[in-house]
Amino acid sequence: MNKQELIDAIAGTADISKAAAGETIDAIFETITKAVTAGDAVQLIGFGSFSTGARAARTGRNPKTGESIQIAAAKTVKFTAGKAFKDLVNK
């Protein structure tokens, strides 16, 4: 499912216009992005939670040359599915 298909599904389920559904989805994504970027966790009970993680600096290898390279530390985005969501997927 892509974003447009999600908009269509929400518009049909909630009986609202596609424009309103699109604006709502954009607002949700923007709010989650701002919160996680600021370092806050976003927890949606029954669905899951979004948070930041850290990836340590490490030594890697260039696959073409075999030369060792340093890979810098980085922040990552983590999503952990909630119990109810996991249970539905595993039915």
What pLDDT, in 10s, does the model give residues 35-53? 999 999 999 999 999 999 9
Widest pairwise Cα distance in the chain = 58
The CA distance from 35 to 43, in Å, is 11
pLDDT at residue 18 in the model? 96
Residues facing 43 on adjacent strands? 49
Is the full-model pTM beyond 0.85?
Answer: no
As a whole number, mean pLDDT of residues 50-64 equals 94
- CA distance readout (Å), 7 to 14, 45, 67, 76, 81: 10, 22, 47, 27, 22
The CA distance from 78 to 57, in Å, is 18
Report the chain's mean pLDDT, rounded to a whole number.
95
Asked if 77 and 52 count as a contact pair (C-beta separation under 8 A), the reply is yes
pLDDT at residue 22 in the model? 96
pLDDT at residue 30 in the model? 97
- How do the domains of the chain map onto residue ranges? 1-40
